[in-house]
Chains A and B, each alone.
Chain A
Amino acid sequence: MAAWRPARTARGVLFYAGTALVCAIVGFPIYWMVTSALEPGNLFNFPPQFFPSHPAWGNFTHIFSVNPLGRWLANSLFVAAGTMICSLGLGVHAAYGLSRFRSRPVDALGFLMLVGQMIPVTVLTIPFYILFRSLHLINTLTGIVIATTTFSVPMCLWMLKGFFDSVPRELDEAALTDGCTRLTALYRVILPAALPGVVAAATFGFMLGWNEFFFASTFLGTETKWVATVGLVTYMGQYFVEWSALMATAFVITVVPAILFLATQRYMMAGITQGAVKA
């Protein structure tokens, strides 16, 4: 496959050493999060302790008692799942249209989506604030789902479109002659054939919802309505920072999307590049 294979030579050793070094540097922050989360107390050690001596598993129960972390995680789950469902629901149909019926208005919608994806979150925070005030969606998780979906639909759409494009049109036609409507053809034939794309788009929607911070921190006033990201940042901003507990909290919040990402990374990565590069 690769044209220049690392040989069992000095160059090969150099290659491994270099790769190990890069991995060590890039991986260190995550390693540091995990070990710091297992240290007892405040972590005020100099020099820093690079290997945990007595893992303090109690940190992980402690963080659920100092903050309503369980509630925050449940809220995050609601926002993430909601964003995933909404962006799939909207993305699948639009992507199918964009893949099969190219025309000027359809392309215009595709373009609109693209630009939408490029708008910084903060720019839309203000109009959403005004919009949600009149719709009584301030301080509701539903509002956060709606706002976040704006940003996840475009990317989901582009991922799905890439996969739909690779499904041969003959399949559509076969389904249509067998008496399917366009919609049933999409659901019964095209979607299963493009399943990796659906998985990728679903993961992306979920992760974006889980990561959401700006809308949530601006619109959610009540502490019990906060999502995990807002809770974490507020916890970090407290005057007295208990670093080990903070790292444990960050770790707990990371686990869900990280596992999801590891489980679907092949589809995810294919989806992101396919949607963006091939178009």
Chain B
Amino acid sequence: MAPTALWMVCVLVYPVYVTIRNSLHAVGAGFDPHPAFVGFRNYAALLADPIFWHSVRVTALFTLGNLLGSFGLGLLTALLLHERFRGRPLARTILLLPWALPQVAAVVVWRWLLQVQYGALNYVLWRLHLVATPSIQWLVRPNLGLYAVLMAAVWWQYPIATTFLQAGIESVSVDLYEAAGIDGANGWQRFRHVTWPGLGHVRNVLLLMLLFWSLGQVIIIWTLTGGGPARATQTLAILVYQRAFSDFQFGSAAALATIVLTLALVIGVLYYRLTLQPVREA
């Protein structure tokens, strides 16, 4: 216990302390050992910066898309896997496999799928007459960048949602289904009145986890689009990195990081209440 606590202090509390300290100082590229104290000027500059607000918007859109996409696909696949059908183990493996890929490998595959001239996605969409031209520039056009990133992110992320929801569905009492069957409920009614309410707790925990995974999703965004095209996928987490390692404005990056940390803390409190509290009261 104690060594772990000590370790976490070193690798978590100290970095957070450094971040907050830097956010109150004018830290530039040179890592001046005694930077000038500037109070909340870094924060004020951020709040006046349209790039910051654009990034907030992108983060919200990405989070919403990733949340809905992963949850929706997760729910669909969890319901499919809940059935006992022939070939279920194979289907299960196929459906869960995307998550086993390293994120960068997933990105490489999606880059190739989304390739302008020879990409499979453009070809399939074109052959299905869903688009007029077989050369959509997914990674170049600013209005499409977010969709491209979301496709890859949801594809990689949703198996976790499947797993959670499957565990949740399994825990719903079989008696309830039988009762619903006796009452003559159809598939939709059973889902609406038995499965969905039965998922309550699992669903809430999952949604919160998807929320912070969306905020923390950086590898896929960074390697697929680098925050582009034209800042279209520049979430807060990406902006922090760019402020620091592209612009070398470490003070500004630290202020931004502190804002993100606060956000994580809020979600953390919610999550904590949701998972640990009921046990304590019981």
A residues with CB within 8 A of B: 1-6, 15-16, 18-19, 22-23, 26-30, 32-33, 36, 43-48, 50, 90-91, 93-94, 96-97, 101-102, 106-107, 109-131, 133, 146-147, 149-150, 153, 157, 207, 210-211, 213-214, 218, 228-229, 232-233, 236, 243, 246-247, 249-251, 253-254, 257-258, 261-262, 265, 269-270, 272-273, 276-277, 279
Contact = CB atoms under 8 A, between A and B. Distances in A.
B67 interface: no
B109 A32 contact: yes
23 contacts: A5-B84, A26-B95, A27-B94, A29-B98, A30-B109, A33-B108, A33-B112, A47-B127, A94-B1, A94-B5, A97-B1, A114-B268, A116-B12, A120-B218, A150-B8, A236-B107, A250-B108, A265-B93, A269-B163, A270-B167, A276-B205, A277-B167, A279-B276
A133 B31 CA distance: 11
A90 B4 contact: yes
A278 to B, nearest CB: 8
Nearest to A157: B4
Size class of the B contact interface (CB-based, 8 Å): 35 or more
A75 B201 CA distance: 41
Contacts of A122: 218, 237-238, 240-241
Contacts of B100: 207, 254, 257-258, 261-262
B149 interface: no
Interface of B: 1, 3-5, 7-8, 11-16, 18-19, 22, 31, 73, 76-77, 80, 82-85, 91, 93-113, 115, 117-120, 123, 127, 134, 155, 160, 163-164, 167-168, 174, 177-178, 180-181, 187, 190, 201-202, 205, 209, 212, 215-219, 222-223, 236-238, 240-241, 244-245, 250, 253-254, 257, 260-261, 264-265, 267-268, 271-272, 275-276, 279-280
A46 B8 contact: no
Nearest to B175: A3
A90 B3 contact: yes
A10 to B, nearest CB: 14
A6 to B, nearest CB: 6
Contacts of A254: 100-102, 105
B178 A232 contact: no
A101 B180 CA distance: 42
A30 B99 CA distance: 11
